[in-house]
Structure 1
């Protein structure tokens, strides 16, 4: 493990009434200790998980639109408003890594094309399907000891590809001593063994078990009661 602690520098915050400090999970954050090579951020949209992940990427000096330290390009609204207010504690500090931001991956692919470098599966990321491009990134760019910050990597991955991604993640963690922090809605990814799951719901960041996540409970209920579930939703007045 490399990143050990995230602290909110409260003395530098003038007001908690403005974004992102108005987000309950951020407002109530003092420090967050990380004690596992794989940490998942979960929570409803707007709960703050992507906001904090982006701030970590900013402090790592990764491009907050997606990329590593050496990917220089600009995307509207890609700056992190929280990055200036957190402190990261490392042991040891690493500079290798990557920030995947699913919503702006197209811009990263365009950036790579302008460089004319980077064999991502032997062809331009734009000449691959969305899922293939994601997987090419995982397979070719994620190398060696590093910290990898992923915001909803399942966005372009089929269930089978998500399982294959877990194998890549596992190899990087076990063989290359890498660290992952992943914001996700995927019950498949959340099932990675011995990972720490941090929930951003209920106004604070708390560690929960896999079976306690809404992702697991809702998916399990749906699969076991599909007809009743759909009838209740589609026929309610």
Structure 2
């Protein structure tokens, strides 16, 4: 593990009325201790998990549109509104890594083609692969040791089977002892990764929860075990 703590610098914030400090989990943020090589951010849409992850990416020096420290391209509105207000504590600090921003992955793939770097991603343009194949190609070819990886909803392009494949990639990197992951996700499959820390953004303060306490697990389990009743109540009540 490299990144140990994320701290909000309250003294630098001019007002807590405006975005992103209007988000309860960000407004009440003091510090977040990172305890595991794999940390998940979970919560409903708009609860601040992607906002905080993007801020970490900016402080790491990664392109907040998606990429590493050497990927230079622009995407509209990709700047972090929170980045300059947080401080990261490292032991030791690493400069290698990658920020995966699912919503701008198309632009990242175009950037790879523009600079002629297809060889670093399995020798094929990411655009010539399905969305899920391109994600896995990124994971398999770009992700190496001694680095921190920040992933915003990597399941967006992955089927359940591909999500399991990603878990194997993640496990192999973590088992080597020199990779750290922080992942914002809605996937109950990814959240099942053993010994990960799960931080929930659903309350006013960020709280550590167990896998079984997540709404993702509870809702998915209830749906699978009570599908007909669930749909009847949802659609016809």
TM-score range, shorter chain: over 0.9
Identify the residue that residue 145 of structure 1 maps to in structure 2.
146
Moved segments of 4+, more than 3 Å:
none
* In structure 1, C-alpha distance between the alignment counterparts of 2:42 and 2:177, rounded to whole Å: 25
Q: CA deviation at 1:13?
A: 0.5
* In structure 1, C-alpha distance between the alignment counterparts of 2:82 and 2:16, rounded to whole Å: 12
Q: CA deviation at 1:176?
A: 4.7
Q: CA deviation at 1:152?
A: 0.1
After superposition, the CA RMSD in angstroms is 0.7
Q: What pairs up with 1:189-204 in 2 under 5 angstroms?
A: 189-204=190-205
Gaps of at least 5 residues in structure 2 are none
Gaps of at least 5 residues in structure 1 are none
Equivalent residue pairs, number? 236
Q: CA deviation at 1:118?
A: 3.6
Whether 2:178 is the aligned partner of 1:177: answer yes
* In structure 2, C-alpha distance between the alignment counterparts of 1:212 and 1:228, rounded to whole Å: 22
* In structure 2, C-alpha distance between the alignment counterparts of 1:127 and 1:117, rounded to whole Å: 14
Identify the residue that residue 59 of structure 1 maps to in structure 2.
59
1:188-223 CA distance string (max 9 Å, x none): 000000100000011110000000000000000000
3-state SS of 2:202 partner: coil
Identify the residue that residue 133 of structure 1 maps to in structure 2.
134
* In structure 2, C-alpha distance between the alignment counterparts of 1:196 and 1:118, rounded to whole Å: 34
Q: What pairs up with 1:76-87 in 2 under 5 angstroms?
A: 76-87=76-87
Task: State the TM-score, normalized to the length of structure 2.
Answer: 0.98
* In structure 2, C-alpha distance between the alignment counterparts of 1:111 and 1:220, rounded to whole Å: 40
Q: CA deviation at 1:23?
A: 0.5
